[in-house]
Amino acid sequence: MNAVGIDVSKGKSMIAVMRPFGEIVASPFEVNHTTEEPSKLVEMLKNLDGETKIVTECTGVYHALNESEMFVSTVKPIITRKYDNNSIRKSKNDKADAIKIANYTLTNWLKLQQFIPEEDVRHIC
């Protein structure tokens, strides 16, 4: 069970990969929004042992993930911002946010819904 949290920023994303009980598979690292780096991320995630679920805030589009046939779920930023918010500190930190999203993924593992790109949704008139 691999939980991937992605904190999306302008031009780059911070990625954290965790397993249950706080096991860190990959310390938070940056992926630039270039043509190559997201593809390398997908390859790395596909090579992890066990089932992998990816959660990203719905603040951007991550085409490489959508095309990878991996489980990707998007959540509104306010949900992840309010999740596990019992810290006195209120600092904004991309690494901490990526870990928070990965923890959110683990906590909500069974409830997560897979993202379906809008062009794949059939509209009924």
Give the least confident one: 27-31, 84-88, 119-123: 119-123
For the domain made up of 2-27+36-116, give the CATH fold: Nucleotidyltransferase; domain 5 (3.30.420)
Cβ atoms of residues 2 and 20 within 8 Å: no
Residue predicted with more confidence, 31 or 85: 31
Predicted local confidence at residue 90, as pLDDT:
58
Tens digits of per-residue pLDDT, 59-94?
A: 665 667 767 788 998 888 777 776 766 555 555 688
Q: Could you tell me which of 115, 94, 74, 84 has the C-alpha nearest to residue 13?
A: 94
Cβ atoms of residues 4 and 45 within 8 Å: yes
Number of CB atoms found within 10 A of residue 48's CB:
15
For the entire predicted model, the pTM comes to: 0.81
